[in-house]
Every structure is written in C-alpha cells, then in structure tokens.
Structure 1
Amino acid sequence: MKALGVQRFGSKDELTELEVTHPTVNEDAVIVEQYATSVNPLDFKLREGKKPDLDFPVVLGSDISGIIVEKGENVTKFSIGDRVFGVTAKSRQTYAAYVSVPQDQIFRSPVNAGFLEAAALPLAGVTALQNLQDRMQLTDVDRLLVIGGAGGVGLFAIQIAKHLGATVTAVGSSDSQQLMKDAGADEVIDYKQQPVHTLSKTFTAIFDCVGGSSQDELFPLLERDGCLLSIARDPSEQLARKHSVTAAFTAISPSQSLLSKLCALYESETLTVHISETFPFTERGVQDAHEKIEKGHTKGKLVMKIQEDEER
C-alpha cells in the first residue's frame, strides 16, 4: 500500500514514498479508503523527532477523509460505503491510501463538504472547538484575543468564538487582515504595525496559536482570573501566578462528540474552511507542503489529495 513518511528523522528531504502493509481491521475499527488528508505543524515536528521512540517507517498525518471499505463486527454506527472524516489519536498514519481507525474517532462527513474540505476540518477544528468551548467555556460576556488568527486553527477559533457569542480580536500579518475579518473577527491587528503588547485593552481569554518568546508579553493583557491557552508553547507558570490568571499548553483529546459538533457547524454554514493550497499525494508534493508549513504564516489549511476522483 502506498504511503508517505520517513525512514529516519530529519528535514523535509527525508519524506519519501513508502510501501507499507495494508491495514487490518479489528472488531471495533473500520478501514477508510483515504481520498484526502491535511498537513499540520504537528506533522513536521514529528518528522523532526518530537517523539523519538516511534518505530520506523513512520507514516505521518492526523486527518481522515474518505470512504469506509471494511468494518469490524462491533461497528454498528457506520456502514461500508459511508463517507467519514476524523482524526487519529496517534497523530499519524493518514498520509496513506488506507487507514485503520477506531469507530469512535470518526463521524460522517458533512453533507455539503467534499473530501478536501472534510480533510481540512478534523484536527484543526477539534483543537479550536475543544479549547474554546470545553476548556475556556466562552460565552457572550467574553473578550477573546486570538494570536495567529489566519492559520488553520486560528480561523476556526474566530468562527467558533463568534458562534459562542464572544467578542473577538484577531492578530495576524498585514496580508491576512481581510481573511480574519471575513471569518468574523470584530477587530483585526497587524502585529508589525501594532505590537500586541502595546494594546490598551484587556481580554478575558487569550488563545495563542503561535507561541514564541512574545507569549510572555500577553499576560498583562489578561484580566484577573482570565485564561491563556496555547497550542504552541508552554506558558510561564510564574507569570500566570503573578497576574492571577490560569495558563496552560493544551493537547487535543479527539472524540466523536466533537466531530459531530464540527459536522453540525459546517452543515449549518456557521463554520467554513479556507484551503490555501492543495498538494498531490507524491514525494515531491508532501515535501513542498512541509516546506510551506514550516515557514509559518500559512493562511487556513494545506490539504493533500490522495484520490483524483474527489467527488465520488
């Protein structure tokens, strides 16, 4: 079976086409024929060796978008032929023609989404939804600051926060201002024209999708008892105590419930997907995608088309 991944950790040049064993189905899982997947920052971090104990070859990728072709005897919610989307708890194995996945890590694809759109939703969408809805528990009294508002997670965060009733200020580059406005941000900031730490307003919550040393400058912008969640860097516990706020680095816990909510938000057009570029399912294609996402400043999502017939 064709897959893309690495035989050893390193740069994007280590990415290569692999011939791996076709997955087998267990009683609680399904086999999905992949039509598309997406490329996330986590992928290049794993490629570089973030989890050094992985066994080679390592097939990268988290996002599932395709059609069920086999199912285990305990799978009752899905049928062969169903279009599904999802995210693997292992955060890998989806740069492949087929993937085995537990039934509780997938959901039916939104009826108004093609395979590419469905591939762009799971990891980034679950990340935004779980952090803003479940962990921050945003409501209409909250004022949220999104750092990195034009990225894959950031754009979903803006839309979900607005759905939850919050007032949203989004930070990004000069060429991403309109994109963040279109996503629903009440205010957008070009960080080169106005450094975030110079803002005169305060926020009840901050969602940091970028990380870096400038994160420390965010703490004075939080109201007392406010919350800073980061998907990119561990926040300073010392600064959190100093400013009487909570702060944490978060990792997602994918669930069928969250995928169900994402599906409903997309079908109601509350949530839209911005795909900035599509790459072929080839060695060169995945190398180009990793090169682009490593540089940062990606707007929306990068997806990889695995099957040519997207509208099957």
Structure 2
Amino acid sequence: MQTALLYLLTVLIWGSTWFAIEFQLGEVAVEVSLVYRFGLAALLLWLWCLWRKLPMQMPAPMHLSVALMALLNFALNYFLLYQAQLHLTSAMAAIAFSTMLLMNIINTRLFFGQPIAKRIYAGALLGIAGIAVLFAPDLTELSLANTSLLGLLLVLSGTLSASFGNMLSVRNSRRGLAILPMNAWGMLYGSLALAALALLNGKTFTISSEPTYLWSLLYLSVFGSVIAFGSYFALLKRMGPEKASYVIVLFPLVAVVFSSLFEGFQWQVSTVVGFCLVLTGNALVLTPFYKLKLLWLRFKPGKRLPVVT
C-alpha cells in the first residue's frame, strides 16, 4: 500500500507539473525561477529535518556526491527542461521525457552491472521510433529555425542529465544516506548552482506579482520538488531505477490531459501513433518475457489457460 501511494503521488504530481511550469515562463528568467523553486523547497526540507531532528551531518566525500547529484537532477536537468518548454507544449515535453525509462535501464546496467534482456533493446527501438513519429511534422524540415526540434534536443539532454542523477541517488541511498537529508542538501546545492548560473548569464533577480506565477511556484516547490522527489527517490531505493522508472510511463498521460484541456493541444494521427509506440516500448521494457508469453497463450485462439481463483 505504501509503495502504491508513492507511485500515485509521483505520477499525479509530476504529470501536472509540466502544465504548472508554463506559468513560470516569460517575465522571470528561467534560472531565477528555478532558484526560487529549489531554494524554497530546500528551506522547507531543512526546517522539516531540523524539526524532526534528522541527522544532517555527512562526510566530505558524500557532500561531493550529493552536490553532483543535485547539479544533474535539480540544476542542469530543470534548466534544460524549462528552456525546452519555450518551444514545446507541456504534453510533448512530458512524452519526450518518458525516454528516461530507457536511459535508466541502460545506465543501471552500466553503473550497477544488471544484465539487459533482449526485450529491452526492442522496447528502446519502439520508444525512439515513437519519438520520431511524434515529431514527424517538425522533423520534415531540418533547420536552425525548427524550434520544436530544438525543444526535443533540450528535453532529451535534460532527461539524460536526470538519469545520471538518478544513478547517483541510488548509490547514495545504498551507502546509507536518508532520503530527506539527501534532498535537503541536494536542493540547497542545486539552488546555489542555479544562482551562480543566473549571475554568470547576467540575469536580474526579479519576481512576478502575477497570481498564476506565485501559485505555480508554490505548487512546484512544495509538491513538485519536496513531495514528488521524496516519493520518487524512495521508489528508487525500494525497487531500483529500472522498475521505479515505470512512473515515467504514466505521467505523460496526465500531462496530455492538462495540455488538451488548457493549452489547446491538438491530437493528430502522428500524435496517437507516436504516443502508442512510446507506451508500448516502455511496457515491453518492463514486462518480463514469461509474462508476455503467458498473456499470448491466454488470448491465443483455442489456447486458453485455466483461470486461477
């Protein structure tokens, strides 16, 4: 039940954050908005950890590992994703981000030595084909003016950064570091890195007085950062990245619903086909071969397995 609740929270929250990010773009620089988001999240986590008297001390090497995780997971990842949504709808960005499932499985093999089944390669090909079909209208004319293609490249770069950050999160958890203190330090380091990036880029630390900006900032800080990352990292620790990443398959569905309702996202044949290919590839990656064989035998004409009650 606890694992199911963690799944539900992660899917619903992160599926809706793609839409909330749209209200952060425009008046305030991307780097500055992210400083506010993760700075507020870090403050809340530190207050909670201190109130609960959780141990916050870490050896110096662990600080370096957490700082690198933060740079990949909170700073670089989100900077690229926010930039991508200047060129893509939230639904398209969320669908492209779902390729992190494939990246996590491959990186789990590379960093932790887990073998990769043949079905994973087939699923990866389906996922890549699905992304290509989704962006087929934009890929027909390759040029520097193709902003959707630029958005896709930004999403995939941010996704790869997040996947590497996931691997560091798993390693830190396996070394005994608790989730909440790790995230408290990580979001502090992430906000500092983003502040340095903003200063280097000459950005001004202004804030919008628009209610949509302020409410979305609060939602992204509390729910999208504190709660969702805590839930997801707990799933990574419990189940491993190759299984916990299944949430990434589900939250594009939530994002598409929000984008269709509020952004005027128009479904086309290529959208449906590409979306189905991505989901099929991801499902193939996560379903063991023996389960696929049992499913085929159950529904094969004249070959029905007995139903166990």
TM over 0.5: no
**TM-score, with structure 1 as normaliser:** 0.25
Higher helix share: 2
Greater percentage in strand: 1
The alignment's TM-score, normalised by the length of structure 2, stands at: 0.25
- Larger RCO: Structure 1 or Structure 2 (Cα < 8 Å, ≥ 6 residues apart)? 2
